[in-house]
Amino acid sequence: MLPVSGRVSFDLVQNTAVAGLPILAAVGAPSSLAVDLAREHGLTVPGFVRADRVNIYAGAARIRLGPAAAIPVDPERRTPLFV
């Protein structure tokens, strides 16, 4: 998984696919072109990732939703802390 702090661009999806990573997660939204490319390459793209919610733009079958208690959260931003 590649977590990013901004939007998901076409270039980020390309690089993720070349690296062989299955998931590109972001705190922002993906561009429509990025979503199209992610679907073509079978990538999963969750966007607007927060401690209590997420939007899945591509590859939803790969994601199993459940309690997020194990994910450390920045209390000010309410966003996951990726280590």
pLDDT band at 3 (very low <50, low <70, confident <90, very high): confident
Q: Which pLDDT score, from 0 to 100, does residue 17 have?
A: 95
Q: Which pLDDT score, from 0 to 100, does residue 10 have?
A: 96
Q: Which pLDDT score, from 0 to 100, does residue 67 have?
A: 61
CATH label of the domain that carries residue 54 = 3.40.140.10
CA dist 19 and 28 (Å) reads 21
Q: What is the pLDDT of residues 6-18, one digit of tens each?
A: 899 999 999 999 9
Q: Give 72's DSSP letter.
A: -
**What's the whole-number mean pLDDT along residues 25-51?**
93
Query: What tokens does 82 get?
Result: 């990726």
Domain of residue 56: give its range: 2-80
What total number of domains does the chain contain?
1
